[in-house]
Amino acid sequence: MGWKFLFTQWLRHHALQIAIFLAVLFHVSGALGILYSDKANWFIQNTPLNLGLMAVLLWCMQAYKQRSAYLFLLLAFVTGMLVEIIGVNTGYLFGIYTYGQVLGPKILGVPLLIGMNWWVTVVICGLVTKQLYHWVQQKRGESNAPLQGWQRWVLIFDGAFLATLFDALMEPVAQQLGFWQWQQGIIPWYNYFCWFVVSAFLLYFYHRWQHAQSNYFAFHLLIIQSLFFLTLRLFYP
């Protein structure tokens, strides 16, 4: 056996630990750099690198990449871009806001990274709620049976609620860092309503299409990103 084969086997065996390490490294470095470094602006400007890497890791750690996974990636990206374009250019969705220059290239005022971030957020919240649901099933001694209709709707609601909570945690920090700016600096409640509705729409297709799927990195990424934004909310000037 060659060294390439052994390295590939080692990489596969330790993939989750490597992904978690990279996520922790980038988020801890980013938080410390923004809070305590004289190069804070450099760390902020490199946010796209962080978000892009997390999206790649999440995709790579997905156990099953059926055709539905690719279709959902496309649906989430296109939906996220469309609703954000409508929001930015009309104010009819989310409220009146504009994107800054931090998140990279834009289409009609919306960074391409935002479409990818919709996919990341919805997948994370969908996976976490589904994994927690199956964990509760196992604790109750129930079989890991396919989701019934009402169970799917519960997961859609819970996932959309979790995605909205994550957005509520992130919004003030994102505005401070210049990712986007709300009119008069006030985040409207309508933004969270739209977040819930759009997330629920995407989660409906997520649970309908992606039947055989697991991704233990998703839970860790949700915790890491939540702690990152919570830390900045508490300590950023």
Question: Looking up tokens 């892009």, which residue turns up?
Answer: 52
Report pTM.
0.91
Q: Of 197 and 154, which is predicted with more confidence?
A: 197
Q: Which two tokens stand for residue 45?
A: 């400007």
Judge whether residue 72 has pLDDT over 80. Answer: yes
Contact (CB, 8 A) for 61 and 217: yes
How confident is the model over 192-234, as pLDDT tens digits? 999 999 999 999 999 888 765 678 899 999 999 999 999 999 9
Burial degree of 63 (CB within 10 A; 0-12, 13-18, 19+): exposed
Report the distance separating Cα 113 and Cα 80, nearest Å: 10
Report the distance separating Cα 21 and Cα 33, nearest Å: 18
Helical H runs in 37-145?
40-45, 47-60, 67-90, 112-139
| 91: number of Cβ within 10 Å | 14
One-letter amino acid at 67 equals R
Nearest to 81 by CA among 109, 55, 51, 45: 109
151 band by pLDDT with thresholds 50, 70 and 90: confident
Given this model, what pLDDT does residue 13 score?
63
Report the distance separating Cα 97 and Cα 113, nearest Å: 17
Where exactly are the structural domains of the chain?
Answer: 3-235
